Amino acid sequence: MEKIMPVLFVGHGSPMNAIEDNEFTRSWINISKKIPKPKAILAISAHYEREDTSVTSNERLKTIHDFYGFPQELYDQKYDCPGSKKLIIKVKDLVKEVNFDTKWGVDHGVWCVLSKMYQDAEIPVVELSINRKLSMQQHYELGKKLYKLREEGILIFCTGNIVHNLMMVRMSGSPYKWAISFDDKVKKFVTARDDLKLVDYELIGEDALLSINSAEHYIPLIYSLGATNKNESASFFCEEIIYATISMLCILFESSS
């Protein structure tokens, strides 16, 4: 039996990472060399929200430049990767309520990272939407349903930011104390696999509420927890908070078997 694929949670940060060479982009390249090459990628991104649970269903996914005010060089970037009918069917088998979406493509939370990890854009990608109507517990349970995909060489790729409060960004100076505090607590709870604490993040306190002033960038972490077993190891990289309020923390979940 093939070794089960790992699960990645990636703090994607600014779209500028797509055209920069920095410690974050280099770490994404390094992690792609560390893990087995996926047969396909199921991506769960902060930037693909809907009122239902959908998967992208086009044969080829167009590159979405879902940002504004950046250099033209960034808008010139393309990551038009193939979709995967096989993966769509597998997801539908596991998640009966899933719908098909022909309008979405790959958003910057996905392609800015994958363009560093897998530059040739040859690995098929399917994005799974974040359903705004689901509770945090329901997101977690949906993540559990995706576990079996890992047994078939599919990488579950979750992309957001654990601390993400754009209302309080500052371009210089140290991170806010509440941002550091919440980032540290997440690492502690992930290491202990205290998933329930992370699902019920509002109960953690004010530092959680300031770090997650809207939950879409946090929810991909919940999927990564749901899609992994509690006996799997979690290792952290990109442990830095930028602009005082954005955690670049990335997590690799791996099974020892």
- pLDDT tens for each residue of 168-188: 999 988 999 999 999 999 999
Sign of the four-CA dihedral 229, 4, 34, 243: negative
State the Cα angle at 179 between 178 and 180, rounded to 5°: 90
For CA atoms 147, 45, 121, 255, the dihedral sign is negative
Q: What are the tokens at 140?
A: 């977690």
SS3 call for 21: coil
Q: What is the mean pLDDT of residues 64-83?
A: 94
> pTM of the entire structure?
0.97
pLDDT tens readout for residues 76-92 = 999 999 999 999 999 99
Give residue 1's pLDDT band: very low, low, confident or very high (50, 70, 90).
very low
Using one digit for the tens of pLDDT, what is the confidence trace for 117-139? 999 999 999 999 999 999 999 99
Question: Are 191 and 225 in contact, with CB atoms under 8 Å apart?
Answer: no
Ramachandran quadrant class, 122 (left: phi over 0; alpha: psi -120 to 50; beta: rest): alpha
For residue 174, what are its two tokens? 């140290």
CA neighbor of 162 nearest in space, from 109, 203, 217? 217
Q: Which fold has domain 7-254?
A: Protocatechuate 4,5-dioxygenase; Chain B (3.40.830)
- 257 pLDDT exceeds 90? no
> For position 3, what pLDDT does the model report?
84
Q: For position 45, what pLDDT does the model report?
A: 98
Residue 103 has pLDDT above 50, yes or no: yes
* Domain ranges for the chain: 7-254
Q: Is the pLDDT of residue 5 over 70?
A: yes
- Euclidean distance between the first and final Cα of the chain, in Å? 10
Average pLDDT, the chain: 96
> Can you give the pLDDT at residue 2?
63
